[in-house]
Amino acid sequence: MNDRLELLAAYPFERLARLKEGIAPPASLPHIAMSIGEPKHAPPEFVVDTLRAALGRLDSYPATAGLPETRAACAAWLGRRFGLGQRVNAESMVLPVNGTREALFSFVQAVVSQRTNPAPVVAMPNPFYQIYEGAALLAGAQPLFLDTTVDNRYQPDLDSVPADTWKRCEVLFLCSPGNPTGSVLSLDYLRYALTLAEKYDFVIASDECYAELYRDDRAPPPSLLQAALANGHDRFQRCVVFHSLSKRSSVPGLRSGFVAGDPAIIKPYLLYRTYHGCAMAIPTQLASIAAWNDDAHAAANRALYREKYARVLPVLQPVLDVVEPDGAFYLWPDVGRDDETFTRDLFAAQNLTILPGSYLARDTRTGNPGRQRVRISLVASVEECVSAAQRIRTFLEKS
């Protein structure tokens, strides 16, 4: 076996299952899952209908590059959402992917080079989406964890990295809106990150899968692609963004997203993907086109998350330090005590599952930035989220 596999940590949900083992929560309370970031809103009917109507298209192998219409729909959405107009060339700058998870992983395998860089580094926020770390380790790179804490407003401190480390960096992962913090990186931040990428010659992989879930209509989260244009990178040099329908359209089971950016990176990445064998099924592509072409359902989805924050926060705020984040669908409170114990005791008392923050982060010099925090996903229905908030409040008032 590949000896790098031994470097992979147990996935957070495996650890969570072990943490809950042997506990019998009150059977009188129905279980509420707030641990996993899996949207539970009903998928748009027109997307499901399109998928169903396209099932006859299973008779041929799809191309790895996707249908031209699929790439065009993704490019058009980028143009509308981020004011990029026609700047994204669907032919050379976009690739469909089977959910961003596989793309975030395979991208690093394709980009990291040990031939030119014997000790490659992949930098990422800490806490982070677990795939970034696993991708770095399996590519033979050293993960560099950049703590995101309340002190840096949950934004990786790029100036904390010594020049010698930046010189070894091959990929910098950014995530905006961030999982689990919900923090949004500003255009200025992204522009600054790009000046470093240029200076030290690395690629920025910007995970923007929560880009459609945000608090303020006057300030939708910017994309790295906008920063690239603002910095004069007219062909998005060194930039690749990752977008997904899982959160935007509540179709995590469709496995549909895309990557877009620098054609000099997209082209060899397409070659990699051709060998890897991860073309998107044509019915999935047709359903995805329908979803990317429609913005109304995404706005309705966003409104539903806002309603949850509006209903949940007044219940929790008297007992917990929670605020509405700029984006995504999580709460990331400091619970003032051990996060594993908190999670286990809450489950035991209220039949409600959340995720210990330390499972989403790694120890650095200053400790684990997820310690004493928990991630609460507001993915269930509005009613269930409100009822969960009431249970958390009862639990805290009693403990």
Site residues (vs ligand PLP, CB under 6 A): 37, 99-101, 129, 175, 179, 207, 209, 244, 246, 252, 257
Closer residue to ligand PLP (CB): 168 or 243: 243
Shortest CB 155 distance to ligand PLP, Å: 15
Pairing of strands 352-353, 32-33: parallel
Closer residue to ligand PLP (CB): 37 or 221: 37
Please say whether the beta carbons of 140 and 170 come within 8 A. no
Closer residue to ligand PLP (CB): 250 or 372: 250
Closer residue to ligand PLP (CB): 14 or 198: 14
Shortest CB 4 distance to ligand PLP, Å: 22
Pairing of strands 203-207, 257-261: unpaired
Closer residue to ligand PLP (CB): 95 or 349: 95
Shortest CB 208 distance to ligand PLP, Å: 9
Closer residue to ligand PLP (CB): 170 or 208: 208
List Cα–Cα distances, 169 to 143, 145, 148, in angstroms: 10, 12, 19
Shortest CB 131 distance to ligand PLP, Å: 7
Closer residue to ligand PLP (CB): 254 or 349: 254
The token pair that represents 148 in the structure block = 């995101």
Shortest CB 355 distance to ligand PLP, Å: 12
165 vs 20: CA distance, rounded Å: 39
Exposed, middle or buried: residue 90 (CB in 10 Å: 0-12, 13-18, 19+)? buried
Shortest CB 196 distance to ligand PLP, Å: 21
Within 10 Å of residue 44's Cβ, how many Cβ atoms? 22
Within the chain, strands assigned E span 32-33, 94-97, 121-126, 142-147, 169-175, 203-207, 239-244, 257-261, 330-331, 352-353, 355-356, 374-377
Shortest CB 385 distance to ligand PLP, Å: 18
DSSP state, 331?
Answer: E
Closer residue to ligand PLP (CB): 312 or 379: 379
Shortest CB 210 distance to ligand PLP, Å: 7
Q: Which residue's Cβ lies closest to ligand PLP? A: 99
Task: Map residue 33 onto helix, strand or coil.
Answer: strand
12 vs 16: CA distance, rounded Å: 6
Task: Map residue 375 onto helix, strand or coil.
Answer: strand
The token pair that represents 285 in the structure block = 């592509």
- State residue 198 phi and psi, 5-degree precision: -70, -45
